[in-house]
Amino acid sequence: MSKKAEAGFKIFDHILVPKHEILSKEEAEELLKKYRIKPYHLPKIKDTDPAVKALGAKPGDIIKITRKSPTAGEAVYYRFVVREK
């Protein structure tokens, strides 16, 4: 995971920012096949989001977000990167 600094601040070092990862093409295909969905069915995240910019993700990428959960331990979310208009 890239920890590119924006304006001197490393976003992924902040305690409130969960782990973000760009899925590989194979991982994305497996996810979409598993749930029988298309990428646009996933919740969207704009390419201007600071975490997306720090990762270097491009529109069309799928981001895996892993958050800590008090009840589940970890909760995984997926977002589809879209271009801000």
Q: Which two tokens stand for residue 13?
A: 């070092």
Domains of the chain: residue spans and CATH: 11-82 (3.90.940.20)
Per-residue pLDDT of the chain (85 residues; tens, 9 = 90+): 444 444 566 877 777 789 999 999 999 999 999 999 999 999 999 999 999 999 999 999 999 999 998 898 999 999 999 998 8
pTM to 2 decimal places: 0.83
